[in-house]
Each structure stands twice: as C-alpha cells, then as structure tokens.
Structure 1
Amino acid sequence: MKKQLVLFAILFSQCGYAQKNTNTGPSWSPDEQLIGFSSDRDGDFEIYSIAKDGTNLLKLTDNNVEDHYPVWSPDMSKIVYTSVRDGNYDLYIMNSDGSNSKRLTDHEANDGGSYVSWHPDGSNFLFNSKRDGRYQIYRYDIKDGKQTNISKSDYNDNFGEYSPDGKQIVFSSDEPGKSEIYMMDSNGNNRTRITDEEVKNNLFPTWSPDQKSIVYQHRPGFRDIDLIVLNLETKERIDISQSPSGVYYFYPRWSPKSDKILFSSSMDGSPHIYYKKLSSNEVVQLTFDE
C-alpha cells in the first residue's frame, strides 16, 4: 500500500501537477449520505468524512501516522480502516464518529493496505494480507476475531469484494503475470477469470448493486489510469472516465443506490474526491485544495 501511494505521487509529479494535498481512497456510507476518505491536508494521512453535497467535513482520526481506506459496517455503527501506527499496516476498527479505535490484526507482515469488504450481514469482512509471503484474501470474523485465508492461491490476490448477496467475491490477481479481474465463490471455490486485456493492471473491482456489472481501475499506459464498467452478462466495456492522457482515476466505488460511481482523480491537478452521476454523466467534485 505505501509503495502504491508513493508511485501515485511520482506519477502526479511527472505530469507537472503541483500537489497541495492528496485526497484518496473514498468509500460510501451504506445510506449513501456520507463519503469516507483519507487526506494529508493536515500533514499526514488521516481519515475524514464528508456529506455527499460536499459539506460537513469531519476529521475522524488524529495522529502522526498514516490512516487509509475507511469502510463503514452495514449498520453504519463502525468503520474499519488501515493504519501504520504500530509499525506496519494493520487493520483497526472505530465507532463511526471516530471514537474508541481498536486494533484488529497484529502480524509482522502487512495486513490491510486496501479496502476491506463487509459481508452484507455484518458478520465478517474481507481483507488483504501478506502473511503467507504473497498477498491473499482473508476473512475476519467479527464474533471471535478468527482470520481465514479464502483465496489460498500461489499468486498475489488483492482487493476482494463481496457481491451484494454475499455469495461471490470479485478480486484482482496476478495469476496471468499481470493483474486481471477474477471471481470466486465466497468460500474461495470456482475461481474464474473475468478480464483478459493487453494492459499492465486491472485493479480495485467493485460490484454494481444489481450484481450485473463491475467497475474497475484500468491502466492502458504509464500516463493513463481509467475506470471501466464491465457488464458481466454481455461483456460490454464502457470507459466512464474518457480522460485525456496524464489524468488518473483511482479507487472506484459504486454507490449503494446504483446511480453514481465514486472515485479519486487528478483531473483538477491534485488528487481529489469526485463522483459521477451515471444518468447524466455529471461529475461532482467533493474535495478541494486548501
């Protein structure tokens, strides 16, 4: 994760962007009223929330280390996020107002470093871990803290997300020698490749609420990172970013009500948080340089 953030900073600087602050890793609240994200606007990366109309910015963590990738529980009472406050990347949980933060994972290898994905019933969530020598997708059970390797593969498997019905997991894997999108059952069986493209990386897949499509981060060239919507039934691909070379789109998140896609982008120079209304193609910017 830290290496990825450094790479993004290098990409922005090579394009001549004067970064005032970086806002990244956004996620929707289950009721679609709030967006969580991380920002270094106060010097280091902390967790913030903001209303979907861009008002009521709240700082939820406050320390001198990096905090990233906030994700609300289905009942909105908790937020799980990644932090390096104890030396390497681990997962933490806090109340939705930022209080009562508690460490969940404690391993010498990196745990987290990306979004977790809550099961729809709130009983567990998926997370990335490198504790087996490569990145794998694990399940964390809320009741007893049990942590189970779900992907159990010989490849780097990342960014696992439960389907809206909780029966399948979409994820990214480097099994073919580059990152492509895969799908498997929630128990790790029936691993199936979804994308097969002549690009360097396809990453961060996320489901549409009707489970018929996914959106993912697609990198066709060094100076381009786009967002692709893939219809899983027809295989139709739509580039919803349609950006000029040198503009980057990261971390797509489909809205719970299905009508928007949230993302981070460099379209305004520094990386900021936006969402796109799918019915009108209107892009709404939520964060700005300070």
Structure 2
Amino acid sequence: MTEKRTIRAEDLYLLKSVADPQLAHNGVDCVFIETVMLEEENKYSSHLYYINVTEKSKPVQWTFGESRNHSPRWSPDGQSVAFVSDRSGKGQIYVLAVNGGEARQLTKCPNGATNPVWSPDGTKIAFNAALKNGESLSTNISEEKKDKRPVPLEVDKMKYKSDAYGFWQGNFNQVAVIDVRTGEAQLLTSGEHDYQLQSWSPDGKHITVTADLSEDKDQSFGSDVYLIHAETKETKKLTGSTGYFGNATWSPNGRYVGMLGHESEYKNATLAKIWIYDMETEKFNCLTRDSDLLIGDYAIGDFQQGAVTPGILWGEDNHSFYFLATDHGNTVVYYGSLDGELYPALLDNQHVYGLSTGGKVDQAVVAISKPNHPGDLFLLKVTTGEMEQLTQVNEEFLQEVVLAGAEPIEFNSSDHWDLHGWIMKPVNFKDGDKVPLVLEIHGGPHAMYANSYFHEFQCLASQGYAVLYINPRGSHGYGQQFVDAVRGDYGGKDYEDIMDAVDYALANFDFIDVDRLGVTGGSYGGFMTNWIIGHTNRFKAAVTQRSISNWISFYGVSDIGYYFTDWQINSGLNDIETLWRHSPLAYVDEMETPLLILHSEKDFRCPIEQAEQLFIALKDRKKTAKFIRFPEANHELSRSGKPNLRISRLNYITGWFNDYLK
C-alpha cells in the first residue's frame, strides 16, 4: 500500500467544491454546482451537475468549458433549468432543457444578469440586473462606448465604494421579468434604489423583493420586504422599517411569507430570527423571538465556492418548514412550524452549507463539510434520520493525502464563561513529540469557526504544527449575550478568552512546546493578532492578515468605517482617545514579536493603509517585520482571490512560521 502524502497549499488546484444543491419538486432530480481552480488560466471554473437521488447514480456534467456557471433553478415542471453563466462575457441568464441540447441565452443585459426566479406557470423568469438610470435591459455591442480613457470619479455620498464591487459606477440593482419563449423583457422596478429579488407568489400575481427606500441611505442600514404586483407594479411594504429583513419565501398556498431578519437591537451583532407575514390577517410575527438560536449559516472557512444559505423551506402542508441554524460550532438543519415548534432534523458535528427540500417534508439534499472532509452532497431522510452520500467529488484526492482531525475542547474563561474550540495535532504526530503551536483567530468578529474543512489549518498541520482555534466572545453560535459581548470591548475580554485558550491548551496537551508559539488571523483576527503582540511577548512569530491597526483612520477609509466603528467600538471621531486606546498601533513600542503583514491592494474593508501604518511604525523602531502586498485582490483573498495569490498567501504563512518556530 502506497503511503499517503501530506497536504500542500497547491492542493487547492486539485480540490473540488460542490455547493448549491437544488432538488426538483419531484424529489428525485437534483442539480448542483462543482467549482475548480484552473491553474494555467489562474481562474475558477464552475459547472452544473445532475444526479438522480433515488438511483444514486454517478453525477452527470451538464455544462462545459472554462466559464463560471452557477445559480441553477428548476422550472416548475422540472423540464428546464435556468442558470447564470459568464460564457459570453458578463454573467447572463440561460435556460437548459433537461432532455438535452444547448443552453439558450435569455438575457443580454449591459452589466449582466443574476438571480433567476421562475414564475409559477414556468412562462417567465424574474431576475436582477444592475443598470444606470435610463439604461436598457438589452445592449448592442456596436453602441457601447469605445473611448476607454480614464475619467474622474464623482463622489457625493458616503457609500461610494464596497469591498465586493469596488467604486460605485452609478448602477442600481433592479428587478426585471423576461418571457422564456419570446425573450421579451421588462423592468419591474426603477429609480435610484437597489432592489434584491426574493421569490414569486404561488398564484403568480406578486413578486417579493427587498430594498431600502429611505432617502438618506448613508445613515440607513435596514432592509424591508415589499410585494410588487407582477402586472401593475403596485407596491406594498410588508415590514415596518424596523430592521433588516430578507430571504423571503412563500408557503405553497400563498397565505404566508416567511423571512429571516432582525430589528437591529444589537446592530450587526443581532441574531437573525424567523418572521412570518400572514397575507390574510396582515399580521407580522417573529416565531423565534424567545429563542437564542441563530438562523442561517455563519460558519467561516476558506474553501467552499458558491455556497447558498436558503431562507425557510416550506413543506407542502403550508405549516411546517426547514432551515439552517448556527449552533455551538456547527451548522445544522432545523424543523419548524407555525405553531412555534423548533427541533433539529440533523444535529451533528458538521458544517451544513447547503440545503434543498424540493418542497417536501420527508427528505432533503444537504451539502456537508467536516474538518477532514472538504464537502459533499448527502440525502437526508428526515423521518428516519438516515444519511446517504450522493457525491464523492474529492474521493481520489482524499485517497492520496492524510488530513488532520480536529479535537473539540471546552473550558471556562477566567471570568467563568463557557468557551469552545478545537485543537489539531500535526499530521503524522507521534507520542512523545514536542511540537510548535499556531493560534488561529477568525474575523468578523461576528462569525464562527466550525466543524468544517479549513485548507489553511490543514497546511499548517501538514508542516508539523498543532493548530488551536476557538470562538471567543463576539462569535456567533452561542447566543445573543455572547455575540454582543465584544462590542465596546475590543482587546478586553475577547483577548482574555484567547489567552485563556492558550493557557488551557498548554495545561492539557503536553506535546505543545511553550517556547514555540505562533499566532495569526485575518480582519478582526488580524486586529487581534496585532493587539496580542502589543500586549504579550509569549509568541515567537505572528502573521497579521487584512488587519485593523488604527481605528482613527479606519473610520474614514473603510467602506464600512464610519458606522462599523460606532457599532463596534461604541465611539466616533468625537472621541479620539477611545479610538486610539483600542488601536494596536498605540502599542507598537511594546511589539517585539517578528511580524509578517499580509494585505491586499484593493481591500476596501480594511484598507491597505492600515498595514502601511503598522509596517512603517515597526520598521522605524527597528522591529522585525515584513510586508507582503497582494495586487488585484480585495478583503476576500483567502476565500475567493486569484488562485495563484491564494497559494502564495498560504506559502508565506507557513514559510514565516517555519523561519521562526522550527
């Protein structure tokens, strides 16, 4: 038998991500997306695959080439699939017949089209399109401007840039409807507002959308659910402008609209809940008001591509539904009902990052990942709890490599809060070994490490490192009080939680070498890495990624700075003293740990000037530091950046720790 090898950063080129399962109404046909990284072309390629969940035959590939094909959605009769493809340049809506033939392009929008939603009778598809005022839904290449000279960017609003989309180019996200047979399209919305398409009512009369229609959008952070009449365009607001609502889905009889949302009681730390609007009584009610359960998938990772979190998925009885929830280091499938029933339908140590029921209550297709399993699709028999694996997309790869397992740990903080995390032993660990430890800290801070595959952790474990990662206060998955506890206390109890975790690991795992500790994290995790090395010298090496170092400048340069600073630090520019006290840069004189700084040039969430300030301050004080700048990359580099840059990033991390901890 051939000995298995350890994993490498470059193995991202070999791994396949399977996501967004969509089960047809017949409960048999399932289409999903498989994504790979193309090394030579240095890009991603995604394709539609089909599987019969009853026969459990080998998946059949439905689209081909080097393009990205995603967002597959079944027609009501199950004979066609609408999807988005960039094969013609920008992403457009295509329709593929199940019985074969070429996919037919439906839209030709100047800036692309997304989010296809079928009408109940299957004759039309609603979709989203980004348009400038007065711009048509169709484009003629000969009419496009040929002058490519740079032009000034005029800015008159605060929300003029975003990490995801760059600088605002004057486009507004509109909802349109296209006739599947004739290709005739018309706008359903217009004006200087962004609308996000949600779902179509079962009688075909209304389309639900979400939007913020307030006048002062710079100071507005809500989202309301609206009904738009598909013919008259008459609009009705279902929610009361009290918070952030979305993921609207209809019960089969059209009486109820279920949605996810919250009333922003704790700003962006507020738990998402399930809300029901009764179309007959016109009453709006929160079903999970008294529950500390977080609705949705808030697990963090660095591998899956194109994962989709659905809203509530109704059963045919118009009374029951399924949904995903984030709970204590797992994402799980829950059953709920209009009577307020809530109980887990699939509760295990795993990350469920995809869910589709086809409108049934007896079975579901779920996408599941675990620390040593990148991800596959499974058929869940809800009544019996049986699980049958449908795909094995990485089976050949997994036969060649050895992956590290993750051992859960639970302990009490110094002030007696329950804390939870994991420790990975190095791959090929032998009893008696003394090994270095790398502490990993997640971003957010309102996110959650989970029982999920993390390529970065596996790369470190393959290099001989133990890996420690926990969910300190501020993390999702442990209730409202826990997630809210970090606000106004950055560098306080959250820092103590992380140090308590290190103390726990050293006290309980004698294979860790106390003199060879490293620390790394990104975004909030980068902030905390900077904070740690400014408050203790117990770590011998550190890698800070897409970090925050100075809250004073962050206020004005981040795409979210002016409100995120207020929400998280509980301070604005009127209180420079507080902002500086929470800034790692204020403690640069105490930083003695060799620091590698990784940052993306086009990171608008934590702009690169945050890294520049820290690097110059360290070098000016003759401290050991190195600065790596990643071109053409944003805040999402580690998750969806250019393949070669993702590989380089991983190798820089392991290389730095190898230099200082080996």
Q: In structure 1, what is the equivalent of residue 594 of structure 2?
A: none
Q: In structure 1, what is the equivalent of residue 238 of structure 2?
A: 193
Query: Which sections of structure 2, spanning at least 5 residues, go unmatched?
Result: 1-13, 39-44, 133-170, 215-220, 279-283, 289-294, 296-322, 332-351, 395-662
Question: C-alpha distance in 1, partners of 2:102/2:229?
Answer: 34
CA contact (8 A) 1:215 1:252 kept: no
Q: In structure 1, what is the equivalent of residue 56 of structure 2?
A: 55
Q: Which amino acid aligns with 1:141?
A: D
Q: Which amino acid aligns with 1:109?
A: N
Q: Label 1:287 to 1:157 Cα distance change in 2 as closer, same or farther (>3 A).
A: farther
Question: C-alpha distance in 1, partners of 2:364/2:222?
Answer: 25
Structure of higher CA gyration radius: 2
Greater relative CO, 1 or 2 (CA 8 Å, sep 6+): 1
Q: Label 1:143 to 1:256 Cα distance change in 2 as closer, same or farther (>3 A).
A: same
Q: Does 1:31 align with 2:26?
A: yes
1:230 to 275, 286, 296: 275
Greater Cα shift, 41-50 or 264-273:
264-273
CA contact (8 A) 1:217 1:225 kept: no
Q: Does 1:159 align with 2:197?
A: yes
Q: In structure 2, what is the equivalent of residue 182 of structure 1?
A: 226
Deviation (angstroms), 1:235: 1.8
Q: Which amino acid aligns with 2:68?
A: E
CA contact (8 A) 1:159 1:203 kept: no
CA contact (8 A) 1:206 1:252 kept: no
Q: In structure 1, what is the equivalent of residue 181 of structure 2?
A: 143
- Listed one character per residue, the Cα deviations across residues 102-137 of structure 1 (whole Å, up to 9, x for unaligned) are 21112321212x2x1211222211111113421111
- Please list, as runs of the form range in 1=range in 2, the aligned pairs for 1:1-290 lying within 5 A after superposition: 20-40=15-35, 44-52=45-53, 55-56=56-57, 57-112=59-114, 114=115, 116-132=116-132, 133-175=171-213, 177-187=221-231, 188-194=233-239, 198=243, 202-216=245-259, 229-233=274-278, 235-238=285-288, 239=295, 240-244=323-327, 255-257=358-360, 270=374, 273=377, 286-287=390-391, 290=394
Q: Label 1:209 to 1:281 Cα distance change in 2 as closer, same or farther (>3 A).
A: farther
Query: Which sections of structure 1, spanning at least 5 residues, go unmatched?
Result: 1-18
Q: Which amino acid aligns with 1:144?
A: T
Deviation (angstroms), 1:138: 0.6
Where is the strand percentage greater, Structure 1 or Structure 2?
1
Q: Which amino acid aligns with 2:21?
A: P
CA contact (8 A) 2:225 2:246 kept: yes
Where is the helix percentage greater, Structure 1 or Structure 2?
2
CA contact (8 A) 1:54 1:286 kept: no
Question: C-alpha distance in 1, partners of 2:122/2:393?
Answer: 35
Question: C-alpha distance in 2, partners of 1:251/1:203?
Answer: 18
Deviation (angstroms), 1:184: 2.5
Question: C-alpha distance in 1, partners of 2:385/2:253?
Answer: 20
TM value normalised by structure 2: 0.35
Question: C-alpha distance in 2, partners of 1:91/1:52?
Answer: 26
Deviation (angstroms), 1:229: 4.3
Greater Cα shift, 275-284 or 54-63:
275-284
The number of aligned residues is 268
Deviation (angstroms), 1:280: 7.8
Deviation (angstroms), 1:40: 1.0
Secondary structure at the aligned position of 1:181 is classed as strand
CA contact (8 A) 1:204 1:252 kept: no
Deviation (angstroms), 1:185: 2.3
Secondary structure at the aligned position of 2:285 is classed as coil
TM value normalised by structure 1: 0.73
Deviation (angstroms), 1:54: 8.3
Question: C-alpha distance in 2, partners of 1:20/1:223?
Answer: 34
Deviation (angstroms), 1:59: 1.2
CA contact (8 A) 1:273 1:286 kept: yes
Deviation (angstroms), 1:149: 0.8
